[in-house]
Amino acid sequence: MMSLRRLLAVFRKEVWQLKRDRLTIAMIFGIPIIQILLFGYAINTDIRAIPTVVLNQSHSQLSRDLLSDLQASQVIKLKGNVHHVEEIETLLRQGKISIGIVIPPDFERRLQDSSRAAAQLLVDGSDPIILGAAKQLTAMPFHLNSQSVPPQNRLFEVRHFYNPEKRSAMNTIPGLIGVILTMTMVIFTAISLVRERERGNLELLINTPITSNELMLGKMLPYIAIGFFQVTLIMLLGLVIFDVPVRGQLVDVYIAALVFIAANLTLGLLFSTLAKSQLQALQMTIFIMLPSILLSGFMFPFDGMPEAAQWIAEILPLTHFERLIRGIILRGADLSELWPELLALIAFASVTMLLALKRFRKRLD
C-alpha cells in the first residue's frame, strides 16, 4: 500500500535538493523567460532594414523620389552609393549587403515603356526570406513626382544571385553545419571534465605530470576530428541528396570550421569547469544553444531583429560562422573577404580558453 507520509517525505527531499541546486532553479525560470523574449520580441519574420546600396545612373528627381519612397517603406536600409554594378556583386558576395538597386540613365523614359522594367533589384537569393522581401517591393505602389506609376508598367526587375532555382535547401544545409557543430561540440566537452570527476578518473590524473594546458588540449583534439567528419558528412549529403554545391574553396570551409569548432570546444570546457554535475553541464549547454540557434540568422532574418538582439547575437560564435559558411559555400567568397567574421571567432575562442584554463584546477574539489 502506498503511504502518504513516505510520499510526502520523498517530495520534501526533492524540493530541498532543488532549492540547493541554484543552476536548476535558474533554468526553471530562465528558459521560459528567454524563449518568451526571443519569440515575442527579437524574432520577427517581417524583415526590415535590409542592407542595400544604390547605383543611381539617372540622377533625376524621379530617381530620388523613388529612393525616398523605398526608404520610407523601412524594408531597406541604404548603406551608400556605388559607381559600378561590379561593386554591388562584390558586396553581395562578401555578405555586406543583401540588395543592390540599379537605376539606369534612361529611367524616366523606361517609366513610360510597359515592355521592360524601369530599374533592377540585385538580390542575394540564397536566403528565400530576403528574396521574398525584395519581391514585395515590386508590388508596392509608388508615387513619383506626385504621379502614380502606370499600373501596366513593371517598375523593378528582380535578379537573384546564388540560388537560381529558389530552393530553401540551398540556405538551410550550410546553416545546419553550424547548428550541428554547436550541439555536438559544446555538449561533448561540457560534460567531459565533469564525467572525469564523477567517475573518479580525475583522481588518477592528479598523480600524473599532465599540466592543465595539456589536459584541456588533449580533450579537444579528438572532438576536432569528429567535427571535421561531421562537416564532411553534411556537405556530402547536401551535395548528393539536395544538390547543394560548394562554390568556394574546400580549404576555406575547413579553416572556418576549425576555428568554429575550437570556439565551441573552449566554451564547452568553460562550462565543464563551472558545472558540478553532468546535468548542470547539459543545462548550461541548452541555455546557450537556444539564443544561438534563434539569433544567429539560421532560422530568422538577422536584419529583422531589434538592435539589442543583434548586439547579443554578435557575441555568439554561431552568428559569425553562419556568415562564413554561407559566404563560402553559397556565394563563393574566400576568407580574405570574410576576415572580420573569422577574427571574431578567433577572439571568442581565445577568451573562453583563457577563462577555462584560469578556472580549471587539477584537483577533486
Rg over CA atoms, the chain: 26
pLDDT of residue 143: 67
Location of C-alpha cell 548542470: 280
> Angle CA(91)–CA(93)–CA(94) in degrees, nearest 5?
65
Q: Considering the entire predicted model, what is its pTM?
A: 0.84
pLDDT of residue 359: 82
With beta carbons less than 8 A apart as the criterion, state whether 95 and 320 touch. no
pLDDT of residue 202: 67
| Torsion sign over Cα 267, 273, 276, 277 | positive
**Cα separation of 138 and 120, whole Å?**
10
Amino acid, single-letter form, for residue 149:
V
Q: What residues have CB less than 8 Å from 273, skipping those under 6 apart?
A: 193, 356, 359, 360
> Which own/partner pairs from 197-200 qualify as long-range (CB within 8 Å, at least 24 positions apart)?
197/364, 198/277, 198/278
**Cα separation of 78 and 98, whole Å?**
11
Condensed to tens digits (0 to 9), the pLDDT of residues 119-156 reads 999 999 888 888 888 888 887 777 666 555 555 457 88
Domains of the chain: 50-161 (3.40.1710.10), 169-359 (no CATH)
Q: In 57-161, at which residue ranges do the beta strands (DSSP E only) sit? A: 76-81, 99-103, 119-124, 143-144, 147-148, 156-161
Query: Which of the residues in the chain have pLDDT under 70?
Result: 1-2, 18, 21, 23-24, 27, 31, 35, 38-45, 143-153, 202-203, 205-207, 361-365
Q: Which residues pair with 143 in a beta bridge?
A: 148
CB contact burial 46-75 (16+ within 10 A = b; e otherwise): ebbbbbbbbbbbbebebbebbbeebeeeeb
Within 275-316, where are the H helices? Answer: 278-295, 307-315
Give DSSP secondary structure letters for 250-268: HHHHHHHHHHHHHHHHHHH
**Cα separation of 323 and 297, whole Å?**
9
Q: List Cα–Cα distances, 305 to 41, 81, 310, 327, in angstroms.
A: 8, 24, 6, 21
> Angle CA(150)–CA(153)–CA(154) in degrees, nearest 5?
140
